[in-house]
Structure 1
Amino acid sequence: MAIRRIRAICAATAGIALVTGGVLVATTAGAQTTPGTSVAAGPDPRHFRLGQAAPKATARKLAAGSATLAVSVRDRAGAAPDSDHAGYALAFDLATGELTVVPLTDGAGTAEVTASAYLVQAFVVTTGADGISSLSMPMRARVDVAGDTDVALDARGTARVDVSVDRTGAALRGGTVQVTQASPGGPIWYAADFDYPGGLFVQPTANAAGLALDVYGALTDRGAEQSPYLYNVMFHESGGIPAHPRYAARTADLAPVDVRLAGSGDAGCARLVTNGYDPDLPIGLGRSIRVDATPGDHPNAVYVTPAADVVWQLSADVGPADCSGGDYFTVGGQRFSTAVRRTVALGRAPLGPGVAAPREVPGASSAAFRQGDTLYVQVPMYTDAGLGRDGGTAGPAGDYPATTGETVLSTVAGKPLGTSDRTGFGQFTVSPESTRYVLTTSSTRNASWTNLSTSQRTSWSFTSRAAGGVTDLPLLAVRYDIELDDLNRAPAGLTGFTVYAERNGTTGRVRLASLTVDASFDDGATWRPVRLVRLGDRWVATLRHPPGPGYVSLRASATDGAGDTVEQSTIRAYARRR
């Protein structure tokens, strides 16, 4: 199956997260597969991020002069929770941001800490007599520790976080609540998702400098997965946490997004996905809904709270009726500064390699890069038409659905260096010297949800040598902008369209030294040249389609000013209508 690789934005983390120094450390979802049932007993190393060294997050025994911090916890019913319902407390040093985890047994635990001021917090699950669980985050915003100190965290003093919009039937589908405290050592934060049917509760505080509450809510029709709309609403409180954290958004104040979904074949499942990144919120934003898979317009499909510093990706996942995996189309770099309507088109043909997606999240990688003597390749090979598009990729777990592919690296002289049985994916060890390489990927697919891009072949030539750090490989991709209907069909007769190129690791169009394009109306058995006229960094193509239904295949050969080249062909790039 294809990996839903979103280079620009991380999806929201399920469960509960804690962090210090900006590195995501753990989630209380632990090994649990059903949210809202228990809290893991300690930090989960599966959630370390971007290869950074994680801060030490364990109970510490310190040298003489340390103090014992004793924490006791009560749930919303006033009972001492067992370790499955409150596994640990967190003590953040307000001077340094350093984290100490206090393991809890039956609602009590101790840890050795240095003399300082601390924010102390715990995650507490309360299960009512009806079996419904809620999650509370009792907290003391400041605990001064000069000697042995007792701290009581009582969930009975927490308040439920409510999120709503002014639309009849709209209900919370998911979201995240994050508490952030500024400190000289950097911001410290903890967060939890709306995964608990009994609600999510936070600790109200008095005015507190540097303490902030951020709430993200995703709302759908009656909170269901199948919905004609998806609200993404955000709220921010600074200077403390209010006694009644209830938030309501007005539809008129939000940015509406109309989605136009193109496709062909027999798609039975379609999802719209939002993913947001806020540089001030380490947690991710986003959710998905299932919509009618019939190609066409989905008006007012997405609403977003305007915020200039938040960047969004909008995606469509289109596949078979069982939603087991299909094509994944993504457009990134979407900022909503005002409540102005916009339209996003997803799934437009031709589908092909994309290498210039925006990278706005720190640490995000390009589609192909070199680190030391290793080339890492993970090119999304079925991106839809549009500048800077991204999408799913093959990976270690498997190739694209219904696809058989291969990726081969060799020298320009033809010496093989490595082969991967995945489309557009591979990891290759090379020599440190400057070498001219040829990277070729090919694939065939027989997908029920589309009858386009049934066969692809792309071959890049480029020069690379060892350099410090990470360097992007200068791979090119030829892209087409063709006026097609919702079924990705062009009319018979004379058609004009735009051709341009992108380069890996950059955004926007790249100026080419040369370009040729050929078309085929018999699935690549014969080819004819397409007339091209240069217009700056684009080319205007003119092609006469024969009468009657059928398909158009495209192949292109391009060279940039540095001598890097690409040859790419797509069988059944788009369809022709009568």
Structure 2
Amino acid sequence: MQIPRRTLATLVGLALAAGTVGVVGIVTAAPSHSTDPPLRADAPTAAPAAPVARTAASEATVTLVTGDRLRVSTRPDGTTSVTPLVAPSAGAYTSFVYRGDRYVVPAAAAPYLGSALDVRLFDVSYLVRAKLDDAHARTVPVAVAGSDDTALPATTTDGGTTAVTKKSAGKLGRMLATRWRRGHPGTLPGGGRLTLAHRTGAPALPAAPVLAGTPKARQTLSPNSAGLPFETVTIDAIDRSGNEGTVVGYLQNVDDARLGVLAVAYPGQPAPLALSVPRGTYSFEFSVMDGPADDLSVQSTLVVKPEVPIDGDTSITLDARQGVPYDASVADQPADDIQVDMMTYARSSATGGGVNIQAYGYDGALLLVALHLARQPGAMPAQLFATPTPPVRHGTMNFAAISEVVGSIYGSNPDPRYFLMFPHQGSIPSSLTYRVPAADLTAVHTSMHASPCATCTDDPELLQLVFLPWSQDELGLGALVPLADRVDYRYSSEPSLTVWQSAFNASDGTRRWGPRETLKPGRLDEEFNRGPAVPSPAAPYLQTPSTGLGGAGGTVRASTLTGCGACRQDDDAVLWLQPLGDSDPSHYGAGNPVDENSSVRFWRNGKLALTSDTRVTRRLSPNGVVLPMLATAADYRLDWASIGKHDTEHRVTTSWRFRSGPSDAAAPLPPEETCSPDQSRSCSFLPLLYVTYDLPLDLHDRTTAGAPYTFGFTVAGQQHSTQRATAATVSVSYDDGTTWSDPVGATATGHGRFTATVDQPALADTTGFASLRISAQDADGNAVTQTVIHAYGMS
């Protein structure tokens, strides 16, 4: 995605001020557990949370003064989600939480915050609370100071009350964007300032967040308790050439992040600058640059002073000349390949919370660019530098240097790629020079398959996700690869700290996750997207990668922790069923089929107890769905039908019949898997049988028509279950399910595995696809019937 320089400047500036930046999409924000820092870069660390059942959320539609329309959903647990609906002025936002309120600021408004626009105009939580949402108000009350309100589109005055009319608010947003493009950012026509006004009968206006100020300005953080003394901190900076430097970065209280996390925003402030902060111990984390940060070629050094006591007026010098170079290479590295280097870090206070700069998501990418912590030949600094630090005593300090070596960043990569991780706990090490011998690499051999549909034309992509105890990183540069068997190489200097996960983007636009695992030198084999996409028996990971507005959480709570996919506690069973399983039972898809592509029905002793037909959309995904179980042992039926999100000819219907009771044996879960809804208690498996296919197919998921076809499949319970099918039958259709062959018994080979042979007609006598229907049961009578339309292609 190419971002215009002016847009990039604004987005990154807000990223540093607010902590998260993203593109239009669904925003999910966890509840705040702390009192509020004036500038919040990351939420305090929380204990791992098991998946919980979805509860009804209150929803409201809010139109901002820029004309942007948002759907704001608030669940009873405090979780807030914001879905942008209409963006007349721009397609990007910044989002942050202050004193429990969620702020969503459109890109068009970004250059005007503080100087011309009151940031509270974008406090969507307050707008809902004050009944200024679209269901209750057609206007937003405002005050215009120092400017002629008639010069502002959509602004009207009636009886001394000024308001922005929502119906016309898009004109104001477009005016802001136009002035920005024409070189007049930060000022309204005629000067002045637009602020949110109090509406009679509404709750009091919230206190406005403190934003990073202007060069050499004195910036004050509001104390969290009465009488907390403030001191002046003067920051000077020396660049690598010995001249006065420009700084971008963070100053944070490491006794308690709630007392202050202050950002000096992109494109940086020339030193010296003065800040006012409460007394305490502070960490200084700044990129010191030879020039303004919006020149991406400017050399910079990450200068960190992790523990500085501030008990009086204090002067600090950040000297970039003390930085050591990051220089990594691998044996036999191709000379013509492109190496992209990055540095990430996480600094938290003794009470949790702080700053986490990671190579993940839109916000992470923009922060890496803003801080010049990424190097790409010809486009960014020639080399990365960082200052070594002693181990910290207050809170935590973690650092990682990362390199990706690829043949092409934007084009296809037929040759091996190299992914190198150099994490370090507690400090920035004294040397950042690394030479990786070939014997220490893990060779990852990957076989990839295209989805068998005419409209599945997306180029395949193969990415690496890396989880450290303090961050998650996506190594996705050069992700485009040809559809062929390939080898890539991974390495970590701390293999026990580094959890790897492959992600494959298939030709039908879907993504599949591989298992998360630590690696040793040697060989690893993986295969993606062979066989039909069907429900997966894998237990889903609780740490879910996400991007976008308020996207990926900075803290990795437990990267390998999973939740039971279908388990029962007392009279509740919680479903976390995963789609897009393939020939590897540990794989599953990113997200679930959207509701319009998925339906669920559930019967108890033959009586319908739950159906998606009663919903307005008549659709539902079995992800976070609670099934009401009977208080005694009973017979159940669960049906899940889904249609491919992009390949709409691929349709899967799975019908489970099973018996379950409250006294069923506890599930033998490993320590890294939890139950729902109460993760502190045991649970029992729902005895659902899953079909995993082992079809001999080419790389386009096709086989040859006009000849007998022998294939295998496994029918077994969910991950960690010992449940296995004992008998199975197979039917096949070559006209997309209009007619089916008679069921034929499959040959059992043990441990739930079966083989079957079907007679395939000539290609002209088919639609070009084969569809499969498999029925199976275990020794206790639990059964499954799965029908897959377009299970594989024929040639």
Q: Which residue of 2 aligns with 1:9?
A: none
Counterpart residue type for residue 275 of structure 2: G
Question: d(CA) in 2 for partners of 1:176 and 1:203?
Answer: 9
Label 1:421 to 1:369 Cα distance change in 2 as closer, same or farther (>3 A): farther
State TM-score, norm by structure 2.
0.55
Q: Which residue of 2 aligns with 1:28?
A: none
Question: d(CA) in 2 for partners of 1:509 and 1:327?
Answer: 30
Q: CA-to-partner distance for each residue in 1:272-301, whole Å, 9 max, x for gaps?
A: 1111223x333334325343544x322x24
Confirm whether residue 548 of structure 1 aligns to residue 711 of structure 2. no
Counterpart residue type for residue 351 of structure 1: A
Q: Which residue of 2 aligns with 1:232?
A: 419
Q: Which residue of 2 aligns with 1:574?
A: 792
1:277–1:311 Cα contact (<8 Å) kept: yes
Q: Which of 3, 13, 17 in structure 2 is aligned with 1:41?
A: 17
2:37–2:257 Cα contact (<8 Å) kept: no
When Rg is computed on C-alpha atoms for both structures, the one with the higher figure is 2
Question: d(CA) in 2 for partners of 1:133 and 1:168?
Answer: 25
Question: d(CA) in 2 for partners of 1:122 and 1:170?
Answer: 31
Question: d(CA) in 2 for partners of 1:329 and 1:314?
Answer: 8
Q: Which residue of 1 aligns with 2:214?
A: none
Question: d(CA) in 2 for partners of 1:546 and 1:42?
Answer: 60
2:245–2:288 Cα contact (<8 Å) kept: no
Confirm whether residue 381 of structure 1 aligns to residue 543 of structure 2. no
Q: Which residue of 2 aligns with 1:342?
A: 524
Q: Which of 297, 308, 327 in structure 1 is aligned with 2:485?
A: 297
Q: Which residue of 1 aligns with 2:326?
A: 161
Q: How does 1:456-471 map to 2 (within 5 A)?
A: 456-461=652-657, 469=678
Question: d(CA) in 2 for partners of 1:564 and 1:34?
Answer: 58
Task: For residue 310 of structure 1, report the CA deviation from its aligned partner.
Answer: 2.8
Question: d(CA) in 2 for partners of 1:289 and 1:146?
Answer: 49
Q: Which residue of 1 aligns with 2:253?
A: 91
Confirm whether residue 414 of structure 1 aligns to residue 602 of structure 2. no
Question: d(CA) in 1 for partners of 2:235 and 2:501?
Answer: 42
1:173–1:224 Cα contact (<8 Å) kept: no
Confirm whether residue 317 of structure 1 aligns to residue 505 of structure 2. yes
Confirm whether residue 172 of structure 1 aligns to residue 339 of structure 2. yes
Task: For residue 490 of structure 1, report the CA deviation from its aligned partner.
Answer: 3.8
1:479–1:501 Cα contact (<8 Å) kept: yes
State TM-score, norm by structure 1.
0.73
Counterpart residue type for residue 57 of structure 1: P
Q: Structure 1: state its 5+ residue gaps.
A: 1-30, 320-324
Q: Which residue of 2 aligns with 1:142?
A: 307
Q: How does 1:71-82 map to 2 (within 5 A)?
A: 71-72=234-235, 74=237, 76=239
Task: For residue 235 of structure 1, report the CA deviation from its aligned partner.
Answer: 1.5
Counterpart residue type for residue 121 of structure 1: E
Q: Which residue of 2 aligns with 1:100?
A: 260
Counterpart residue type for residue 41 of structure 1: A
Confirm whether residue 286 of structure 1 aligns to residue 475 of structure 2. yes
Task: For residue 134 of structure 1, report the CA deviation from its aligned partner.
Answer: 6.0
Task: For residue 500 of structure 1, report the CA deviation from its aligned partner.
Answer: 1.9
Identity rate, percent: 18
Q: Which of 707, 719, 730 in structure 2 is aligned with 1:517?
A: 730
Q: Which residue of 2 aligns with 1:17?
A: none
Q: How does 1:343-358 map to 2 (within 5 A)?
A: 343-357=525-539
Task: For residue 355 of structure 1, report the CA deviation from its aligned partner.
Answer: 2.9
2:689–2:725 Cα contact (<8 Å) kept: no
1:532–1:539 Cα contact (<8 Å) kept: no
Q: CA-to-partner distance for each residue in 1:155-198, whole Å, 9 max, x for gaps?
A: 565455344443212223464422568x8768977435453453
Question: d(CA) in 2 for partners of 1:51 and 1:372?
Answer: 28
Task: For residue 334 of structure 1, report the CA deviation from its aligned partner.
Answer: 4.1
Q: Which of 489, 494, 497 in structure 1 is aligned with 2:702?
A: 489
Q: CA-to-partner distance for each residue in 1:480-527, whole Å, 9 max, x for gaps?
A: 2122232323456554443223444x3476323654433334433123
Instruction: Name the Cα RMSD after superposition.
Output: 4.4
Q: CA-to-partner distance for each residue in 1:227-263, whole Å, 9 max, x for gaps?
A: 2343210124567535663444344531122221223
Task: For residue 60 of structure 1, report the CA deviation from its aligned partner.
Answer: 5.4
1:379–1:393 Cα contact (<8 Å) kept: no
Counterpart residue type for residue 510 of structure 1: Q
2:338–2:407 Cα contact (<8 Å) kept: yes
Task: For residue 567 of structure 1, report the CA deviation from its aligned partner.
Answer: 2.4
Question: d(CA) in 2 for partners of 1:405 and 1:468?
Answer: 23
Task: For residue 344 of structure 1, report the CA deviation from its aligned partner.
Answer: 1.9
Task: For residue 569 of structure 1, report the CA deviation from its aligned partner.
Answer: 0.7
Q: CA-to-partner distance for each residue in 1:381-440, whole Å, 9 max, x for gaps?
A: 3322122111133366x66xxxx4433445541244434655745665665754865442
Label 1:190 to 1:123 Cα distance change in 2 as closer, same or farther (>3 A): farther
Which structure has greater strand proportion?
Answer: 1
Question: d(CA) in 2 for partners of 1:63 and 1:520?
Answer: 75
Q: Which residue of 2 aligns with 1:442?
A: 641
Q: Which residue of 2 aligns with 1:527?
A: 741
Question: d(CA) in 2 for partners of 1:136 and 1:375?
Answer: 53
Confirm whether residue 394 of structure 1 aligns to residue 582 of structure 2. no
Q: Which residue of 2 aligns with 1:322?
A: none
Q: Specify the SS of the correspondent of 1:528.
A: coil
1:530–1:543 Cα contact (<8 Å) kept: no
Task: For residue 112 of structure 1, report the CA deviation from its aligned partner.
Answer: 0.9
Task: For residue 356 of structure 1, report the CA deviation from its aligned partner.
Answer: 1.1
Task: For residue 79 of structure 1, report the CA deviation from its aligned partner.
Answer: 5.0
Task: For residue 332 of structure 1, report the CA deviation from its aligned partner.
Answer: 1.2
2:574–2:626 Cα contact (<8 Å) kept: no
Label 1:70 to 1:356 Cα distance change in 2 as closer, same or farther (>3 A): same
Confirm whether residue 121 of structure 1 aligns to residue 307 of structure 2. no
2:406–2:413 Cα contact (<8 Å) kept: yes
Q: Which residue of 1 aligns with 2:118?
A: none
Counterpart residue type for residue 478 of structure 1: V
1:102–1:109 Cα contact (<8 Å) kept: no
Confirm whether residue 253 of structure 1 aligns to residue 443 of structure 2. no
Question: d(CA) in 2 for partners of 1:260 and 1:152?
Answer: 53
Task: For residue 123 of structure 1, report the CA deviation from its aligned partner.
Answer: 5.3
Q: Which residue of 1 aligns with 2:275?
A: 109
Q: Which of 342, 347, 361 in structure 1 is aligned with 2:559?
A: 361
Q: Which residue of 1 aligns with 2:33?
A: 53
